[in-house]
Copies of this chain bind each other. A is one copy, B any other.
Amino acid sequence: MSASAGATPDRPATIRDVAALSGVTASTVSRALSTPGRVNFRTQARIEAATAQLNYVPNAQAKALSSGRTKAVAVLVADITNPFYFDIIRGTQLQLKAAGYTQLLVDTEESEEVELNTIEQMRQTADGLILTASRLDDETLARVSAKMPMVTINRDVQGVPSVLLDTPTATNQALDHLISLGHSHIAYLGGPETSRSNSRRWAALSAAAQERGVEVARLGPFAPRTYSGAAAADALVHSGATAGIAFNDLMAIGMLQRLRERGVGVPSDISIVGCDDIFGADFCSPPLTTITAPIEQAGRVAVTMLLSKINPGLGNFPRNQSVLPTHLTIRASTGSAPMPR
């Protein structure tokens, strides 16, 4: 017996422990475990037995260091507080796990600087990046994308793979829905100025309104949170519109609460349309008419695209953009326009 370290109960087994136990060298163990067919099946069996016996788990750091791939993907969200991201996170988590990847979840606190720092950090730590609602400018995104695999969600930049939730189309449906209910004074309760999806939706909406000969006022900007729903509700009431299309469901739900407090009937006095169909949109009061987006699916698709970027040549042609359809879900927060008094 030499003074060889061996595996003590407290120290996890290393590849060398496995090698010693099965009478081969570390490199052979490595091959047996990761290159199928490279090692004789009898040796392979011995190694597998030793692996099981020692309860050997390869050290992820060491693997990452030597192979250059971490088997981890970073998911950056602007605000982990927002239920919208929950569904994204759920989608990415499920899909990443299925592919044997680890998810690094980072909240960038809606800050451009934090986002950029994190990206630089993750360049070493993750094999790829999923950015949701990035605050960075197009040029920066393109530059980062050139350096490491990356997929954006709800952000369309030339040359950067992306998953887009096609809310603008459904926003038009919402407009038609309201018009058909007799509404002629409609307002859009805008989200943050820096949000691209906000601009995209407004552009689509105002164009559609013009086509249809209706006027849609733009109010805001408001923070995309329930608490700013109060201000949004008051602005809406003050504007004299009979229907409001909110930037997202959080705002819409906040508006419902505020309108109830003020004794304004929904939908008898004012109709409200939300966006995203987040958890809660179906059981708030009244249940929210909203634009249903396949959020979780967006997360899953983003992962799929990213992984085919990270591991090319698996036969799947990586698509560079994926637009997911959305639709209008009509619930009880919209109704006929009130009779003009």
Total interface residues in chain A, CB < 8 Å: 43
In the complex, whether A89 has a CB less than 8 A from a CB of chain B is yes
In the complex, whether A239 has a CB less than 8 A from a CB of chain B is no
Residue in chain B with minimal CB distance to A67? B61
Residue in chain B with minimal CB distance to A260? B283
A125 touches B285 (CB 8 A): no
Residues A257 and B283 in contact in the complex (CB < 8 Å), given A57-B123, A124-B59: yes
B90 touches A80 (CB 8 A): yes
In the complex, whether A181 has a CB less than 8 A from a CB of chain B is no
A93 touches B120 (CB 8 A): no
Which B residues are CB-close (under 8 A) to A103? 104-106
State how many copies of this chain the complex holds: 2
CB distance from A59 to the nearest CB of B (A): 5
In the complex, whether A31 has a CB less than 8 A from a CB of chain B is no
CB distance from A99 to the nearest CB of B (A): 14
Which B residues are CB-close (under 8 A) to A284? 280, 283-285
Residues A125 and B283 in contact in the complex (CB < 8 Å), given A83-B86, A94-B107, A147-B10: no
A102 touches B104 (CB 8 A): yes
In the assembled complex, the Cα of A253 lies from the Cα of B280 at a distance in Å of: 10
Which residues 112-150 in A have Cβ within 8 Å of B in the complex?
Answer: 120-121, 123-125, 147
Scoring A55, A61, A124, A279 by chain B CB atoms within 10 A of each residue's CB, the highest score goes to A61
In the complex, whether A65 has a CB less than 8 A from a CB of chain B is yes
In the complex, whether A81 has a CB less than 8 A from a CB of chain B is yes
In the assembled complex, the Cα of A66 lies from the Cα of B97 at a distance in Å of: 27
In the assembled complex, the Cα of A103 lies from the Cα of B107 at a distance in Å of: 10
Residues A80 and B65 in contact in the complex (CB < 8 Å), given A57-B124, A283-B256, A285-B285: no
In the complex, whether A70 has a CB less than 8 A from a CB of chain B is yes
Contact partner, A125, options B10, B60, B97, Cβ 8 Å:
B60
Which B residues are CB-close (under 8 A) to A220? none
Scoring A65, A83, A94 by chain B CB atoms within 10 A of each residue's CB, the highest score goes to A65
Which residues 202-251 in A have Cβ within 8 Å of B in the complex?
Answer: 226
In the complex, whether A318 has a CB less than 8 A from a CB of chain B is no
The 8 A CB mask of A36-80 against B (1 = contact, 0 = none) is 000000000000000000010111111011000010000000001
In the assembled complex, the Cα of A92 lies from the Cα of B192 at a distance in Å of: 27
B279 touches A83 (CB 8 A): yes
Which B residues are CB-close (under 8 A) to A267? none
In the assembled complex, the Cα of A256 lies from the Cα of B280 at a distance in Å of: 13
In the assembled complex, the Cα of A121 lies from the Cα of B55 at a distance in Å of: 11
Which B residues are CB-close (under 8 A) to A283? 226, 253, 256-257, 280, 284-285
Residues A90 and B97 in contact in the complex (CB < 8 Å), given A120-B55, A123-B12, A253-B283: no
CB distance from A144 to the nearest CB of B (A): 13
In the assembled complex, the Cα of A55 lies from the Cα of B105 at a distance in Å of: 23
Seen from chain A, the residues whose Cβ lies within 8 Å of a Cβ on chain B are 10, 12, 55, 57-62, 64-65, 70, 80-81, 83, 86, 89-90, 93-94, 97, 102-107, 120-121, 123-125, 147, 226, 253, 256-257, 279-280, 283-286
Mind listing 6 A-B residue pairs with CB under 8 Å?
A: A61-B64, A61-B65, A65-B65, A80-B94, A104-B104, A226-B283
Give me the 6 closest cross-chain CB pairs, A-B, nearest first. A285-B285, A280-B280, A61-B64, A61-B65, A60-B125, A283-B284
